[in-house]
Structure 1
Amino acid sequence: MDKSIKEIINSYQDQKEIELKGWITSNRGNNKIRFISLNDGSTILNIQIVFNQEKFDLEEIEKWKIGSALNIRGIFKLTPNAKQSCEIEAIEANNISPTDDSFPIQKQEINLETLREIPHIRHRTNIFRAIMLIRSTLAKEIHNFFDSEGFMYLHTPIITSNDGEGAGEGFIVDDENKELFFSKKATLAVTGQLHGESYATGFTKIYTFGPTFRAEKSNTKRHAAEFWMIEPEVAFYELNDIIHLSDRMLKYVIKKTLEKHPEEFKFLDERQEGRLIKNLETFLNKKLQILEYSQAIEMLKKVKEKFVEKNIEYGLDLATEHEKYLADEVFQGPVAIINYPKEFKAFYMYLNNDGKSVAAFDLLVPGVGELIGGSQREVDIEKLKSRMSYYNISIEEMQWYLDLRRFGDAGSSGFGLGFERLVMYVTGIDNIRDSIPYPRTFGNLKM
Structure 2
Amino acid sequence: MIRNNVAELLSSKNYLQEVNLKGWVRTFRANRFIALNDGSTINNIQCVVDFEKTDESILKQVTTGAAISITGTLTESLGKGQSVEIQVSKIEVLGTSNPDEYPIQPKKHSFEFLRENAHLRIRTSTFSAVMRLRSALSFAVHKYFTENGFYNFHAPIITGSDAEGAGEMFQVSTLGLENTPLNEDGKVDYSKDFFGKETNLTVSGQLEAETYAMALGKVYTFGPTFRAENSNTTRHLAEFWMIEPEVAFNNLDDNMDLAEDFIKSVISYVVENYPDDLAFLDNRLTQEDKTKPAIERNDMSLIEKLKFVAENNFKRVSYTEAIDILRNCKPNKKKKFQYIINEWGADLQSEHERYLVEKHFKCPVILFDYPANIKAFYMRLNEDGKTVRAMDVLFPGIGEIVGGSQREERLDVLKQKISDLNIDEKELWWYLDTRKFGTAEHSGFGLGFERLVQFVTGMGNIRDVIPFPRTPQNADF
Question: Is the TM-score greater than 0.5?
Answer: yes
- Rounded Cα–Cα distance in structure 1 between residues aligned with 2:379 and 2:163: 12
Deviation at 1:310, TM superposition (A): 1.9
Deviation at 1:285, TM superposition (A): 1.9
Q: Which moved more, 1:226-235 or 1:359-368?
A: 359-368
Deviation at 1:299, TM superposition (A): 0.7
1:100-139 to structure 2, matched below 5 A, reads: 100=98, 101-139=100-138
- Rounded Cα–Cα distance in structure 2 between residues aligned with 1:207 and 1:125: 34
Query: Who is 2:28 aligned against?
Result: 27
Query: Who is 2:152 aligned against?
Result: 153
SS at match of 1:316: coil
From 93, 96, 108, the counterpart of 2:94: 96
Structure-1-length-normalised TM-score: 0.97
Query: Who is 1:276 aligned against?
Result: 302
Deviation at 1:59, TM superposition (A): 6.3
From 421, 438, 443, the counterpart of 1:391: 421
AA matched with 1:202: A
SS at match of 2:91: strand
Tell me if 1:410 matches 2:440: yes
Deviation at 1:16, TM superposition (A): 1.4
- Rounded Cα–Cα distance in structure 2 between residues aligned with 1:169 and 1:59: 57
Q: Is the 8 A contact 2:21 2:71 kept in 1?
A: yes
- Rounded Cα–Cα distance in structure 2 between residues aligned with 1:63 and 1:399: 65
1:186-205 to structure 2, matched below 5 A, reads: 186-205=199-218
- Rounded Cα–Cα distance in structure 2 between residues aligned with 1:80 and 1:351: 69
**C-alpha distance after superposition, 1:117-140 (max 9, x if no partner):** 111111001110111010000000
1:206-245 to structure 2, matched below 5 A, reads: 206-245=219-258
AA matched with 1:17: E
Q: Is the 8 A contact 1:51 1:58 kept in 2?
A: no
SS at match of 2:426: coil
- Rounded Cα–Cα distance in structure 2 between residues aligned with 1:348 and 1:13: 60
Between the aligned residues of both structures, percent identity stands at: 46
Q: Is the 8 A contact 1:68 1:98 kept in 2?
A: yes
From 345, 349, 357, the counterpart of 1:327: 357
SS at match of 1:294: helix
Structure-2-length-normalised TM-score: 0.91
Where structure 1 has 5 or more consecutive residues not aligned to the other structure, the ranges are none
SS at match of 1:318: coil
- Rounded Cα–Cα distance in structure 2 between residues aligned with 1:310 and 1:301: 8
From 328, 331, 334, the counterpart of 1:302: 328
From 384, 406, 409, the counterpart of 1:354: 384
Tell me if 1:364 matches 2:390: no
Deviation at 1:55, TM superposition (A): 2.7
CA gap 1:177/1:37 in 2 versus in 1, 3 angstroms: farther
AA matched with 2:66: S
Tell me if 1:265 matches 2:278: yes
Q: Which moved more, 1:267-276 or 1:20-29?
A: 267-276
1:236-255 to structure 2, matched below 5 A, reads: 236-255=249-268
- Rounded Cα–Cα distance in structure 2 between residues aligned with 1:348 and 1:445: 33
Query: Who is 2:49 aligned against?
Result: 51
- Rounded Cα–Cα distance in structure 2 between residues aligned with 1:149 and 1:312: 43
Q: Is the 8 A contact 1:28 1:62 kept in 2?
A: no
Misfit runs of 4+, over 4 Å: none
AA matched with 2:10: I
Tell me if 1:337 matches 2:370: no
- Rounded Cα–Cα distance in structure 2 between residues aligned with 1:318 and 1:11: 52
Q: Is the 8 A contact 1:166 1:391 kept in 2?
A: no
- Rounded Cα–Cα distance in structure 2 between residues aligned with 1:52 and 1:102: 28
Where structure 2 has 5 or more consecutive residues not aligned to the other structure, the ranges are 176-187, 287-299
**C-alpha distance after superposition, 1:262-315 (max 9, x if no partner):** 111111111111721111111112211110100000111111234222233210
